[in-house]
Structure 1
Amino acid sequence: MAAIAKALYQAFADGDRDAIERLIAPDFHFTSPRDNRIDRTTFFERCWPNHNFITGFEFVRVLPADDLVVVTYEGRSSRGSGFRNTEILTIRNGQIHNTEVYFGWSIPHEASEGAFVDNEIAKTKHP
């Protein structure tokens, strides 16, 4: 299962749409802080164009457990910035059926070590 997960990211970095088509299931759904369980068609419309800016991934961790693989990676972008995310992939019968994305931080980090970024989220009061 870890190999299937890694193949997904490699195909994305390579811009290999045929490989992605084979890797994600017809009933595929994608959830992130910006996307609420979008279907396969919407994923290709919204997310696939980003492959034009992705130059590669470095895996921090790839942890298979039952039908899940937890992947934390550092992505590289042709736009000069990097990013770190964690994703949980549900894999059955050799295909990815569900992806949950948890956005990480920019690389290099916006805050110096021991400091933090002050933004509107941090200013929001939570009950």
Structure 2
Amino acid sequence: MPREPSVEGGGAVDTPEIVHSVRRADLKAVGEVRRSLRELMRHRCRAEATEVAELLITELVTNALVHTEQGAEVSACIADTRLRVEVRDYAARRPRPHVPTADDGTHGRGLVLVETLADDWGVDALVPGAGKVVWFELDA
């Protein structure tokens, strides 16, 4: 999931990253993931980018835990000035942005937020039966 460190001039460049495994229905772990991301971005990114990244990672991890039957694998890395976050779950169903109505309450806004706030985002299907990766990137 995280990108390999780039190699420049014969030596590996340190690519800061986080990796978390989140158990099924462990919504308390969402805060841990968010704190790890904040720490990763602390001295490398603008405060506004950190706030957006925390919101988006919260949405993606929560979606994976609420809408699938298994846990999720979360990774984030910063390469140059670009943050990439990936959330892998084990469900084949592709998420789609949903325009919420007043009847939806506070639900259904996660992917709309990702679509609106991320510099880039997408869904990559894995081999059949292995699930998918939902990812976003931000210029940090």
TM-score norm. by structure 1 comes to: 0.34
TM-score norm. by structure 2 comes to: 0.32
